[in-house]
Structure 1
Amino acid sequence: MITGLNAANAYSAARSAVSPDAGSAPRMLERVGQAAEDFAAQMAQVDAVSTRAMTGQLSTQELVQTIAEAELTLNTVVAIRDKVVEAYQDILRMPV
């Protein structure tokens, strides 16, 4: 037979098992911020390389390589954004 005390004890045990660490949120935000800065730096690098290629200071091969790296970075950022939006929509659909 399940009693109120048994249910409360089970709830307390489950709650501590799934609660996030106290310091994990600031670290997560720091990592997200660093990733955003890295993305911005990558896009700035593409701009600089493109300018150098247009003025003849850089070979076409180096330009294509830099653009390919930027495309991979952009695809990764878009995939992460899509996952975050999907998770947010799943949370909104949850019954309360």
Structure 2
Amino acid sequence: MEIRSTPAEQGYLAAKPALAPSAKPADTGETFAAAAGNLVAGMTGTEATAKAAMVGKADPHALVMALTQTELAIETASTLRDKVVEAYQEIMRMPV
């Protein structure tokens, strides 16, 4: 008789490596630099997909997917920027 694990247990075991702490905490500047680099790389990829779609070398579905991913990335970056500005303004309102 074979005993099978539950889907919840399988999900936990799959996510367990992501929960392990890293050896060195990431520097905030490095984290933001990596995020900005990923945003630029994504936009460059979308631009290449758009160019390929214009000449008929890319599937229109791939173009829509690339544009949607870029839109989501830009919305995320602008939301993050708004939160940083809001936090800065809140700190500046604090009495000295």
Give the TM-score of the pair, scaled to structure 2. 0.71
For each residue in 1:8-47, what CA deviation from the matched residue of structure 2 results, as whole angstroms up to 9, or x when unmatched? xxxxxxxxxxxxxxx86x7111111111100110111111
- The aligned length equals 73
Q: Any stretches of 5+ residues in structure 2 without a counterpart?
A: 1-23
Q: Percent identity?
A: 38
Deviation at 1:92, TM superposition (A): 1.1
Give the TM-score of the pair, scaled to structure 1. 0.71
- 1:33 and 1:89 mapped to 2: Cα distance? 23
Q: How do residues 26-45 of structure 1 correspond to structure 2 at under 5 angstroms?
A: 27-45=27-45
The ranges of structure 1 where at least 4 consecutive aligned residues each deviate by more than 6 angstroms after the TM superposition are none
Q: Any stretches of 5+ residues in structure 1 without a counterpart?
A: 1-22
SS in 2 for 1:82: helix
More helix by share: 1
Which structure has the greater CA radius of gyration?
A: 1
- 1:81 and 1:39 mapped to 2: Cα distance? 13
